């Protein structure tokens, strides 16, 4: 079983829709969770990070962590065509020598 599972999509939504992107993980020791956005032919860009269970909001983006279910989500409200990209989740156990585990990425297209 992979440490981190992420549905690769592709996911297509109309402009203005709420997008839900998800990752599941198997290691209950993961404490630190990150979401990245990668546009075509660019390096991944950090969107949000969180240490704890619950929700963290930043503009149109909300990161949600449910440690009991080993499940994290990224919600995008009022999606825009500029949100079309691949979204990667990542997680780690703190203080373990920089070991990070990435999902494979979900490709999102927002249709105008």
Partner 1 sequence: GAVVSQHPSRVICKSGTSVKIECRSLDFQATTMFWYRQFPKKSLMLMATSNEGSKATYEQGVEKDKFLINHASLTLSTLTVTSAHPEDSSFYICSAPRPPGNTIYFGEGSWLTVV
The site string for partner 1 over 15-44 (x = CB under 8 A, - otherwise) reads -----------------x-x-x----xxxx
Contact 81, 110 (CB under 8 A): yes
**Options 64, 79, 84, 92; binder of partner 1; rule CB under 8 A:** 92
Q: Supply the DSSP string of the chain, one letter for each residue.
A: --SEEE----EEEETT--EEEEEEES-TT--EEEEEEE-TTS--EEEEEESSSEEEEETTEEEEEETTTTEEEEEESS--GGG-EEEEEEEE-TTSSS-EEE---EEEEEE-
**Options 18, 20, 27, 45; binder of partner 1; rule CB under 8 A:** 45
Least Å distance between CB 44 and partner 1?
5
Site for partner 1, residues 57 to 86, rule: CB under 8 A: none
Least Å distance between CB 24 and partner 1?
16
Nearer to partner 1, 62 or 104 (CB): 104
Least Å distance between CB 57 and partner 1?
18
């Amino acid at each position: 079983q992979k440490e981190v599972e992420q549905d690769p999509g592709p996911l297509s939504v109309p402009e203005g829709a709420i997008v839900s992107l998800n990752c599941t993980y198997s290691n209950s020791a993961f404490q630190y969770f990150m979401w990245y956005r990668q546009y075509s032919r660019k390096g991944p860009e950090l969107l949000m990070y969180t240490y704890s269970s619950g929700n963290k909001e930043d503009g149109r983006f909300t990161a949600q962590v449910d440690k009991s279910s080993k499940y994290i989500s990224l919600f995008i409200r009022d999606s825009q065509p500029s949100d079309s990209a691949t979204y990667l989740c990542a997680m780690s156990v703190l203080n373990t020598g920089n070991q990070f585990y990435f999902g494979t990425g979900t490709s999102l297209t927002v249709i105008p």
